[in-house]
Amino acid sequence: MDWFLSLTRQETTHSRLIAMAFLTVLTLVITFFLPPVADSQLAGGAAIAIVVLGLSWLTGWSGQISLGNSGFMAVGAYAAGIWAHHHASTPLVFTFVLAIVFGGISGLIIAIPSTRLRGPYLAGMTLAFSAAVTPLAQNFTSVTGGEGGLFMNSLVTPRWFLHFFSGPNAAINASAQWSADLAVVVAGVMFFFMANLFHSRTGRAMRLVRDNDVAAELMGVNLARTRTTAFVVSAAYAGLGGALYSLLQASVRPETFPIGLSITLLTLMVLGGIGTLSGAVIGGIIYSFSANLVAHVNSLTGVNPTSNVGANMQGIIFSVLLILTMLFAPRGIVSLQYPLRRLFRARPATPTPKDVHL
Amino acid sequence: MADTDERQFTLEFEHVSVSFGGLLALDDVSFHVCENEIVGLIGPNGAGKTTAFNVACGFQKPTSGSVRFPQLGRSHLRPPQLASAGVARTLQGVGLFGHMSVLENVMAGAQSRPGGGVWRSLLGPPSGARHDRELREEAMGQLERLGVAKFAGALPSGIPYGIAKKVSIARALMERPVLLMLDEPASGLDEYELEDFIQLITELHSSMSVLLVEHNMDFVMQLVHQLVVLNFGQVIAQGSPNVISNDPDVLAAYLGLDE
């Protein structure tokens, strides 16, 4: 029991590595038992979970809010998409690194003016950015492919993976699952890095700035640099998530990144629990299976999916979930674990610091 | 006392003036804090004590004059440079980090020590965990030294004010300061806690200089070696507590009003 508790506390890098590897492998195993449709949904959810994690870091750890993360997603997606469209045979790792770099750079550009702003002003500034990105993509047709976007064919199922499958739809099933497995592994790696960041000197600097910026400065923390770092990391995560999401769809299109997506990301983060790894996972899972939920509610209520109400059912469901969460678990669904943990606590708490963010 | 020996100055204000528009908040202020000396900055409300503190910390730029730290070989430090240069300042109230445990608050005092940037943080090399454990032990040691170790796991909102004040001192000590600046350390403390504080700061001055702003005259008189009295932004007197308490100007400006 002790070793398990030390794993959940994740105080050392190797315990974080073991925990993330274990969860990743577990999810990979699960994908073998899921139907292909669920695999595809899970893949999309993993990509969104990466973005939500980046946002959660920005909000929960550095105390800044952003409505621009759908914009950062678009930047990463287009960086990856434009490259992959022309160089389909490039290793995926390179495409991902490209998305991270470009996402990070866009974050840096936005952060330089933004970190001087607080609260609603910061939200407004970042919202303006995400509103500007989609029209840019729509209008620079020669580079971005305009409304139709760009086609990408980088996600090729390797031959050895096909051996796990047989039957009439083997190729399609294998492709769906390969996408899911790839997305899960990428998410696992990104969650591992974020777990390290949470427990690092940089992570501590963020929390100092968030809680009391005057005192943080007196501890030697450079406020502007710390806030900018938070933005860059958040945007890099969004960029990678956006690229992964587009690769899964085999195309990058402006309509994938509406402003509303930023609001959805924010909602998913709050639903899961701000500033936590498991909160971002929960957000990703909710996103994955929101389509099923929408279909289910539509069929239960008899609403026509193409009607005005039916088309907005996802927004309605998220709103209701958000209200319920605020009422019953204001710190997010992840906070429901604390009553459970108290039940199963093996020994009284020791005076080691209890991280409020885990 | 200060003029006759050969100790270095830790902090030196030379003809410092600060004006906010037409208002002269500090008017040609000169004073110094010697090595291992406890200096009290006193004066009625609005005399410019806090402005002087803010100028020393770089929160406020002097309109003219200079702020130097001869013992540290530095001058005109900006706030984020203070900690690594060896200047720790506590804030009015307690200024703790509200969402972090007492122990983490104290560990935060070591934030200015070199420890690698964001890349290192992402990769989380094993040396990081070892470094963290050492910090934790050191922070625990500071809490034990101040007799508040049992509150290590608590959040600042859940501990008594006097304890929180001690935690903020423990945090400042983690910065390994050469100059400790205390902003109203006695405010909100009861007599018992004040006794404790006097003893604590007296112990500290063997290894560092202390500059404090304070309203509580009994507390100041028992504690400091030198006093600097400000009124309307000007230094109206400085010297040992004995000299100051008999200075007619000071009595008129300040002590007389303090019942």
Average pLDDT over residues A188-192: 96
Residues of A in contact with B81 (CB under 8 A): 220
pLDDT at B151: 95
The answer to whether A126 and A92 are in contact (CB under 8 A) is: no
Say whether A202 and B150 touch across the interface (CB within 8 A): no
pLDDT at A1: 43
**Which residues fall within 8 angstroms of residue B62, CB to CB, at 6 or more apart?**
B16, B17, B18, B26, B55
The model's confidence at residue A262, banded by pLDDT at 50, 70 and 90, is very high
CA distance A16 to A358: 12
Place of tokens 């406890």: B38
pLDDT at A197: 94
CA distance B20 to A229: 34
Nearest chain A residue to B88, by CA: A218
pLDDT at A165: 87
Average pLDDT over residues A156-161: 88
pLDDT at A357: 43
Nearest chain A residue to B176, by CA: A219
pLDDT at A3: 53
Most distant CA pair in chain A, distance: 67
**A339 or A238: which carries more pLDDT confidence?**
A238
Nearest in space to B58 (alpha carbons), one of B22, B2, B11: B11
Domains defined for chain A, CATH in brackets: 5-288 (1.10.3470)
- What does each of the 259 residues of chain B score in pLDDT, given as a tens digit? 445 557 789 999 999 999 988 889 999 999 999 999 999 999 888 889 999 999 999 999 999 999 999 999 999 999 999 999 999 999 988 899 999 999 999 999 999 988 878 888 888 888 888 888 899 999 999 999 999 999 999 999 999 999 999 999 999 999 999 999 999 888 888 888 899 889 999 999 899 999 999 888 888 888 999 999 999 899 999 999 988 888 888 877 765 554 4
* Closest residue to B80, CB basis, from A195, A199, A221: A221
pLDDT at B186: 86
CA distance B254 to B248: 10
**A186 or B253: which carries more pLDDT confidence?**
A186
Cα A196 off chain centre by: 17
Average pLDDT over residues A139-162: 87
pLDDT at A356: 40
pLDDT at B124: 84
Residues of A in contact with B83 (CB under 8 A): 218-220
Say whether B91 and A218 touch across the interface (CB within 8 A): yes
Neighbours of B197 (CB within 10 A): 20
Distance between the two ends of chain B, CA-based, in angstroms?
29
Say whether B121 and A200 touch across the interface (CB within 8 A): yes
- With 0-12 / 13-18 / 19 or more C-beta atoms within 10 angstroms meaning exposed / middle / buried, residue A37 is exposed
What DSSP line would sit under A37-106, residue for residue?
HHHHHHHHHHHHHHHHHHHHIIIIIH----S-HHHHHHHHHHHHHHHHHH-TTS-HHHHHHHHHHHHHHH
What's the token pair of residue B83? Answer: 């900690």
For residue B165, the number of C-alpha atoms closer than 13 Å in the C-beta half-sphere is 20
* Closest residue to B91, CB basis, from A202, A214, A350: A214
pLDDT at B248: 85
Phi and psi at B135, nearest 5°, equal -60, -45
Residue A309 has pLDDT above 70, yes or no: yes
**Dihedral (Cα; A260, A262, A267, A270), 10-degree rounding:** -170
Average pLDDT over residues A239-267: 95
The chain-wide mean pLDDT, for chain A, equals: 89
pLDDT in tens, A11-26: 788 888 999 999 999 9
pLDDT at B229: 92
Residue A5 has pLDDT above 80, yes or no: no
Place of tokens 């130097």: B68
What distance in Å separates residue B14's CA from the closest CA in chain A? Answer: 23
What's the token pair of residue A24? Answer: 């990743």
pLDDT at A348: 46
Residues of A in contact with B84 (CB under 8 A): 220
* Closest residue to A221, CB basis, from B111, B118, B132: B111
The residue among B99, B101, B102, B112 with the most chain A CBs within 10 A of its CB, best to mutate, is B99
What DSSP line would sit under chain B, residue for residue?
-TTTS-PPEEEEEEEEEEEETTEEEEEEEEEEEETT-EEEEE-STTSSHHHHHHHHHTSS--SEEEEEEGGGTEES--HHHHHHHTEEEPPSS----TTS-HHHHHHGGGTTS----HHHHHH--HHHHHHHHHHHHHHHHHHHHTT-GGGTTS-GGGS-HHHHHHHHHHHHHHT--SEEEEESTTTT--HHHHHHHHHHHHHHTTTSEEEEE-S-HHHHHHH-SEEEEEETTEEEEEE-HHHHHT-HHHHHHTGGG--
* Closest residue to B91, CB basis, from A11, A215, A221: A215
Neighbours of A75 (CB within 10 A): 30
Residue A6 has pLDDT above 50, yes or no: yes
pLDDT at A249: 93
Nearest chain B residue to A232, by CA: B118
pLDDT at A2: 52
Residue A353 has pLDDT above 70, yes or no: no
A251 sits in which H/E element: strand A251-252
Average pLDDT over residues A332-352: 69
Residues of B in contact with A349 (CB under 8 A): 153
pLDDT at A97: 97
pLDDT at A235: 97
The answer to whether A51 and A73 are in contact (CB under 8 A) is: yes
The lowest-confidence range among A99-103, A178-182, A334-338 is A334-338
Residue A343 has pLDDT above 80, yes or no: no
